[in-house]
Amino acid sequence: MSHDLFEAARGAMAFAHAPYSKFPVGAAIRAEDGKVYTGANIENLSFPQGWCAEPTAISAMIMGGAKKIVEMAVIAEKLPLCPPCGGCRQKISEFASKDTKIYLCDEAGVQKTMTMEELLPFSFETELG
């Protein structure tokens, strides 16, 4: 099932707006509703006012009516197995469980699977949820 997320993330990466870093990234989420939501990084000349691919995909998921990430794929054109940055890890954890699978990809597909707990151990948590 992760292959369709890889394809969706790779497709999303084509929409990245990365004229400053030249570092396109794509992300794809499968939400609890079964739908796939995608995002790409969108930079802004006024750093750090741009945003990463992962929160772009999360925004699409929320606006699509879903609230929970079941699994997620991330791909970067210039860095195989590029993990989400620290800020994105916390953003993902807001909508994921400790067991949510995060797929790190290269141009050939999913190459590493991590859980949210492995990606962000000892995450900041509340009793909400």
82 in a labelled binding site:
no
Residues tagged active-site:
54
105 in a labelled binding site:
no
Q: In which band, very low, low, confident or very high, does the pLDDT at 48 lie, cut at 50, 70 and 90?
A: confident
pLDDT tens across 12-36, in order?
Answer: 999 999 999 999 999 999 999 999 9
Domains and CATH numbers, the chain: 1-117 (3.40.140.10)
CA 27 to chain centre: 4
Question: What phi, psi does 21 have (nearest 5°)?
Answer: -85, -25
Indicate the helix (H) or strand (E) that contains 38: strand 36-40
Identity of the amino acid at 115:
T
pTM: 0.93
